[in-house]
Structure 1
Amino acid sequence: MLKISRVAVAVVSSALAMGAAFAEERASADDAMKLLDKAEAHFKAAGAEQAYADFSSKDKGWQDRDLYVFCFDKDGVALAHGANEKLIGKNLSELKDADGNLFIGAMVKTGLSGGGWTDYRWANPVSKKIEPKSSYAKPFADGICGVGIYK
């Protein structure tokens, strides 16, 4: 009986440690807000064109775990995208999430109205799975920029 208890304790301890390690890989809402604040400061200092290029580049430090910066104009055209630079220049206003929701338009509207969170389901670039996501977007010049977290 004592051996089973030790094994059970070891299994539970391993599961808890793995859960904690996975939790550390995921960024928090606070982490997202800090990255967006940093992006806003860079945008103001470097200018829109340079900032958009930097946010979209994989080697400029604008990706952290499952976080990345994205920017859209008021019509939903991608100006920067830290997870998929192939989206830049495309109008994504009609893009639907895994549940069929037009989330880009909602995000742009929320961002242009002063900022806020938009919930949707999207592919996590780290896990490659469809997961619940919430992105905070706020106004940048004539569009919005944002950062999202996977839940």
Structure 2
Amino acid sequence: MGVLRKALVLVGAVLMSMGVAFAQTASVSEDDVKALTLKAADYIAAHGVADAEQAFTQEGEFKFGEIYVNVIDFSGNWVIYPPKPENKGRNVLNFVDEDGRHLGEDILNTGKAGEGWTQYRWKNPATNMIQPKVTYVKRVPGQELIAYIGIYK
């Protein structure tokens, strides 16, 4: 993690602990999202789902500001969903954006093919508005799991 991003994570953690909302997404580039998604997929492959779930649901390298790692299985079920861990097991295949795009299917198909970007429009909880979102998707090496991270544009 770069020095600037470490500083942003620290500032964000301090502000959040004080009850101040802090949107870091603007400071995170698509290149950052891609690199973190690749790292997350490798982390799952090396450490397993249980360790990854612990790492991905705690504030830190894999979860900061509006950035977090989602993981689904090849059936489209959330294996790890940091914003609402109680949604673990929920299927994403029926998720459709404002334009009728089947984003759950797009994410699953992109992951099954290996890796790549998906684009859709989704409600941003920070702004409460429908906004364009790009998500980098990566199949976990040797497993039927897919890691992905998205950012609003």
Alignment TM-score > 0.5, same fold: yes
Query: Is residue 33 from structure 1 mapped to residue 34 from structure 2 by the alignment?
Result: yes
Q: Which whole-Å CA distance do the structure 2 matches of 1:133 and 1:49 have between them?
A: 28
Give CA deviations for 1:31-56 in whole Å, capped at 9, x if unaligned.
Answer: 1012112212321332122213432x
Alignment correspondent of 1:8: none
Give CA deviations for 1:93-129 in whole Å, capped at 9, x if unaligned.
Answer: 1111222221111111011101111111112243333
Give CA deviations for 1:61-86 in whole Å, capped at 9, x if unaligned.
Answer: 42233321101111110111133323
TM-score, normalised relative to structure 1: 0.74
Alignment correspondent of 2:152: 150
Amino acid paired to 2:44: F
102 and 47 in structure 1: CA distance in 2 versus 1, 3 angstrom threshold: same
146 and 123 in structure 1: CA distance in 2 versus 1, 3 angstrom threshold: same
61 and 23 in structure 1: CA distance in 2 versus 1, 3 angstrom threshold: closer
After the TM superposition, which residues 42-81 of structure 1 pair with which residues of structure 2 at under 5 Å, given as runs? 42-55=43-56, 57-81=57-81
Alignment correspondent of 1:97: 97
Q: Which whole-Å CA distance do the structure 2 matches of 1:79 and 1:92 have between them?
A: 11
The answer as to whether partners of 1:108 and 1:143 remain within 8 angstroms in 2 is no
The answer as to whether partners of 1:122 and 1:131 remain within 8 angstroms in 2 is yes
The answer as to whether partners of 2:93 and 2:105 remain within 8 angstroms in 1 is yes
State which structure, 1 or 2, has the greater radius of gyration over its C-alpha atoms.
1
| Residue ranges of structure 1 left out of the alignment (5+ in a row) | 1-21
Percent identity between matched residues is 31
The answer as to whether partners of 1:81 and 1:88 remain within 8 angstroms in 2 is yes
Alignment length, in residue pairs? 129
TM-score, normalised relative to structure 2: 0.73
The answer as to whether partners of 2:120 and 2:132 remain within 8 angstroms in 1 is yes
Secondary structure of the structure 2 residue equivalent to 1:47: helix
How large is the Cα RMSD of the aligned pairs? 2.2
